[in-house]
Structure 1
Amino acid sequence: MCSRSCAKCLGATLIPLALCCIVANILLYFPNGETKYAQDDSLTLYVWFFTGIAGGGIMMFLPATVFMKVGDSNDDGCGKSCVMFCSVLAALIGVAASGYCFIISALALDKGPYCLTSLGWMYPFQDGNGRYLTDRDSWSACLIPAHVVEWNITLFSILLVLSGLEVIICVIQAINGLLSCLCGSCCSMENYSMNA
């Protein structure tokens, strides 16, 4: 019973995280609230990977729904083990989706934003191994969009943290589900042998 309530709680936690990932990814398309950069294709390449919308967002509704259904399930014995095994599979899908969001967000932070510099449109920080993140003086290299460095760092960092939390939650449920499957099978075998 404890494993089911844990699954339900984890599922409910994933929903706001997924919604926040979707919002953060959408905001990346509109630096400073302007639409012209998306229309002109003047955004960093990693924005078009839909990491927060698909990986950390929409795909996370599957494990969240499964986890919450597990919490509502009243099956015992073999049915409980089957339901918990399904939650393990959903958790693995969640790990893959949120892991995708985490990796792409980290790569985006490492490469830096695409912006207009004195040399034209380019990635001015891509060869710096992410050193620009702590060197605020170098951010002035990006002239347009205004404050694009802060915009990208903030939103990709949010995606990185949220997807990291999603990975942790899905791993916890995978372990919870596996233990419940194994313990459920053992308990069922003990009950069978005691009744025999």
Structure 2
Amino acid sequence: MCYGQCARCIGVSLVSLAVLCIVANILLYFPNGETKYAAEEHLSQFVWYFSGIVGGGLLILPPAFVFMGLEQGDCCGCCGNVDCGKRCAMLSSVVAALVGIAGSGYCVIVAALGLVAGPVCRDAYNQWNYTFGYTEGEYLFDKSTWSQCVEPKNGVEWNISLFSILLALGGFEFILCVVQVINGMLGGICGYCCTHHQQYDC
């Protein structure tokens, strides 16, 4: 098993997930593709926490690029010892993975809170508020109540769909970063790459 190749696969996957998180978060600002709700500040406060842009996006990209470069990285040769240098690089990737865990964890937490709170809607009394805030998330399982949100049209579906996507993407990122923590520790302690050409023992 080659720990460097595994790290590269994780890095490539994280880049894709990060881009999707950023796109999903941006879409939350434009229910039904309209800009007026953001301009009038009729959006959930959790949209403004930038969980997908910062947490699941920008904080994930640096670790992802670190993982992708591990096959070539040797940590400056680690005092001239290439084998030691590669192990050093794998161990240092654990720190990068922890940054990814923090970012993805932030994305998951904010997305979950956004789902529970629900969207900011104009209700039947022409008031803008968290129409489903009192339900503690139960509205998610009772589609018949969604009509209480008069505006934006399909605002509940928009909010649920995108926050659910952020929750899932952030969860995948979190798992991948945890896997890289394990992979980095194994690669650093047991050896960078174990193949029929190159063998390192623990």
Structures share fold, TM-score greater than 0.5:
yes
Alignment correspondent of 1:35: 35
SS at match of 2:135: coil
SS at match of 1:56: helix
SS at match of 1:98: helix
Deviations 1:135-163 (CA, angstroms, capped at 9, x unpaired)? 11100011111110000000000000000
Task: State percent identity of aligned pairs.
Answer: 53
Structure 1 stretches of 4+ with a deviation exceeding 4 A read none
Alignment correspondent of 2:87: 81
CA distance in 1, matches of 2:9, 2:69: 11
Deviations 1:69-106 (CA, angstroms, capped at 9, x unpaired)? 11233664221121012210000000000000000000
Cα RMSD after superposing both structures:
1.8
Could you tell me which runs of 5 or more consecutive residues in structure 2 were left unpaired when the two chains were aligned: 195-199
Q: Is the 8 A contact 1:17 1:166 kept in 2?
A: yes
CA distance in 2, matches of 1:170, 1:179: 14
SS at match of 1:71: coil
CA distance in 2, matches of 1:93, 1:58: 11
Q: TM-score scaled by structure 2?
A: 0.89
Q: Is the 8 A contact 1:8 1:72 kept in 2?
A: no
Corresponding residue pairs, total: 188
Alignment correspondent of 2:105: 99
Q: In structure 2, which of residues 119, 127, 134 is the aligned counterpart of residue 113 of structure 1?
A: 119
Q: Is the 8 A contact 1:29 1:43 kept in 2?
A: yes
Alignment correspondent of 1:194: none
| Structure 1 residue 129 displacement after superposition | 1.8
CA distance in 1, matches of 2:29, 2:140: 20
CA distance in 1, matches of 2:71, 2:84: 16
Alignment correspondent of 1:47: 47
Alignment correspondent of 2:58: 58
Q: TM-score scaled by structure 1?
A: 0.91
CA distance in 2, matches of 1:2, 1:182: 13
Q: Is the 8 A contact 1:22 1:52 kept in 2?
A: yes
Out of 61-70 and 76-85, give the one that drifted further: 76-85
For 1:73, give the aligned amino acid.
G
CA distance in 2, matches of 1:85, 1:114: 45
For 2:51, give the aligned amino acid.
T
CA distance in 2, matches of 1:107, 1:71: 38
Deviations 1:42-89 (CA, angstroms, capped at 9, x unpaired)? 100000000001110111111110000112336642211210122100
Residue 151 (1) aligns with residue 158 (2): yes
Alignment correspondent of 2:167: 160
For 1:36, give the aligned amino acid.
K
